[in-house]
Amino acid sequence: MKKFVTSDRSIHKMDESTEPVITVKDGSVVTIKIKDHFNGQINEEQLHYGEIDWKQFSPTTGPIYVDGARPGDLLAITIEKIKLTSKDVLLLNGPNIGITGELLPNNCIRRYKIERNKIIYSEEIHIRLRKTIGLLKTESNKQTTPFHMSTKYGGALDSSDITEGATIFLPVEKYGAMLHIG
C-alpha cells in the first residue's frame, strides 16, 4: 500500500519529543513531499542573500518510523522517483558558498529557469539537470549534530549519486530508525 507524507510538519533539528509523522512497514513505498533548502523564504520579491534566516535552512520531513527497524540494522532507502514542483532552481554562489569561489566578490542568490530537463544558465549555457535528495538521516541516541552536518547516520549528503534509482543504506540506532529526508 502506498503512503504519502506532506511537508506540513518540517523540522530543523532532532528532538526526542518529536512524534513520527507516519509509521510504515518495512518495504513500504512512501511518497514524501519536502520543502526546499530555504524553507520557502526566497520568492520572486525577495532574493537578497543577507535576509536569509539560516535557522530555517535545510528543513526535513519526518521522522518516519519504520516498523521492525531495530538498533544494529541497516535501513535501505531506494529513491524511485524525484518530481520537482518548481519550474526554476536557486543557486547560491560567492566567495563563501557555491562553486564560483573567489570569482564573485559577494555571496548572491540567482534564480534560473528549468526547461526540458536543463538549467538555463544563459542563452549559450544549458546545464543538464540532475535531481537529487540532499538530506537523508536516521536518528541516533545522541542528537548533538544539526541535520546539515553529516555523520555515519547520514545528514546533508549532497551527492549527485543520491538520485532516482539509488539505494542508500543508513545504520539504525533507535527503534523505528526515525528517518528524516530533505
Three cell numbers at 161? 549519486
CATH of domain 3-41+57-84+131-181: 2.60.120.580
Distant-in-sequence contacts of 40-48, Cβ < 8 A, 24+ apart: 42/90, 42/109, 47/109, 47/110, 47/111, 48/109
pLDDT tens-digit readout, 34-84: 777 777 777 765 556 677 777 777 777 888 999 999 999 999 999 999 988
pLDDT one-digit tens code per residue, 160-173: 899 999 999 999 99
Query: What are the boundaries of each domain within the chain?
Result: 3-41+57-84+131-181, 86-129
| One-letter amino acid of 3 | K
- Percentages helix, strand, coil for the chain (3-state, rounded to 5) are 5, 35, 60
Confidence of residue 15 (pLDDT cuts 50, 70, 90): low
